[in-house]
Structure 1
Amino acid sequence: MKNTISKEEQAQLISILKARFEKNTKRHQNIDWSKVEAKLNANPEKLWSLLQMEKTEGEPDIIAYDKSTDEYLFVDCVAESPKARRSLCYDRKALDSRKEHKPKNSAVDMAEEMGIELLSEEQYRQLQQLGNFDTKTSSWIATPADVRKLGGAVFCDYRYGRVFLYHNGAESYYAARGFRGYLKI
């Protein structure tokens, strides 16, 4: 069956997530792991997406809890943009517009295949409050429709002690630019 993981993979993934959770407590103060684990076990389809985040070297971890929806926000917390998600243009339209030297995929398509979404600018800035991420790389973020309509896309990085938001043609791709995703559980 598509988008499922075995009981063994589930147990291994939960063990990895728990170890990361315990190692990085400042990312999720006042969150009880036992409640997170119960939520994970109750949502096996979401575990598949978390496994994809892990396999592509995103190191997902919890950075927030939304009391109103009873959801935990898992975000890629690897120091630099995930290695297995770099050299991608922004979306399918951008990929299709390239005549030559096409990248292997687009950030939006890959995120969709993984069952996750690109971070918004607000979520990216929230992540940066928890550490310094993308000090040598950059990450595509969800681009406002009016910018995308004009052919552009936006990305962020962290330099000189601050978050920078930039624009580029959506069809561009670079070895040091990937994307960070999130998943609500």
Structure 2
Amino acid sequence: MKAKPQGNTNDKRLSPEQREHLLGVWKSRFEKNRNRHDGLAWDLVRTRLETNPEKLWSLGEMERTGGEPDVIGRDKSTGEFIFCDCSAESPNGRRSLCYDREALESRKQHKPENSALDMAAAIGIEILTEDQYRDLQKLGVFDTKTSSWISTPPPIRSLGGALFCDHRYDTVFVYHNGAESYYAARGFRGSLRV
């Protein structure tokens, strides 16, 4: 399922055709899901995206890997629009990943292709915190069949663990696992400020 990055990865820009296609996809999603960004206007979002080509590329990578990104808010102090992966399940192009580089290197056999934190950094997004994950769940129901790694506090990570979340029984659960573990049904969700 993992595809090659789109556009020119050296300057992280989309081609004009890719840009127009994706802007159309995001506009349609934005308009269909007004509850995620009540009071925000697409024209302002589009203008901000068009003046930030590297962020536009990152958003394209979120889309390419199955995240179905959408605006979920705006930072009142900076004016930045906050995009988040809003796919019903954990993005399918970002699953079967251990938590971070240290976990990946610790595996002696059956290593996954990548780690969640390395992939997030390559895309240019931040992995969700527990609070961000819980806020996302207020906008819909996500991860009823999958789970998503979340940002893990250093004390837990220093002991070899990492955290993940899912939504079961009408409740958001936070669990722990060894950071080196990976599963076909676990990926990660990210956010991007533009």
TM-score for both structures, normalised by structure 2: 0.94
Aligned to 1:53: 62
In 2, Cα distance between the equivalents of 1:162 and 1:182?
A: 22
Read off the aligned partner of 1:107 and give its amino acid letter: A
Of 79, 86, 92, the match for 1:70: 79
Aligned to 2:141: 132
- How far has the Cα of 1:155 moved from its partner? 0.3
- How far has the Cα of 1:115 moved from its partner? 0.6
TM-score for both structures, normalised by structure 1: 0.98
Read off the aligned partner of 1:48 and give its amino acid letter: W
SS of the residue 2:54 aligns to:
helix
Structure 1 stretches of 4+ with a deviation exceeding 3 A read none
Gaps of 5+ in 1: none
SS of the residue 2:13 aligns to:
coil
In 2, Cα distance between the equivalents of 1:2 and 1:176?
A: 32
In 1, Cα distance between the equivalents of 2:39 and 2:132?
A: 19
In 2, Cα distance between the equivalents of 1:2 and 1:177?
A: 30
Aligned to 2:184: 175
SS of the residue 1:20 aligns to:
helix
Read off the aligned partner of 2:175 and give its amino acid letter: Y
- How far has the Cα of 1:117 moved from its partner? 1.0
- How far has the Cα of 1:104 moved from its partner? 0.6
Of 22, 39, 48, the match for 2:48: 39
Aligned to 1:29: 38
SS of the residue 1:74 aligns to:
strand
In 1, Cα distance between the equivalents of 2:158 and 2:79?
A: 34
Aligned to 1:121: 130
SS of the residue 1:155 aligns to:
strand
Residue 175 of structure 2 corresponds to residue 166 of structure 1: yes
How many residue pairs end up in the alignment? 185
Gaps of 5+ in 2: 1-9
Read off the aligned partner of 2:135 and give its amino acid letter: Q
- How far has the Cα of 1:8 moved from its partner? 1.4
- How far has the Cα of 1:2 moved from its partner? 2.8
In 1, Cα distance between the equivalents of 2:104 and 2:49?
A: 34
Residue 100 of structure 2 corresponds to residue 94 of structure 1: no
SS of the residue 1:131 aligns to:
coil
SS of the residue 1:156 aligns to:
strand
Of 11, 16, 20, the match for 2:20: 11
Residue 117 of structure 2 corresponds to residue 108 of structure 1: yes
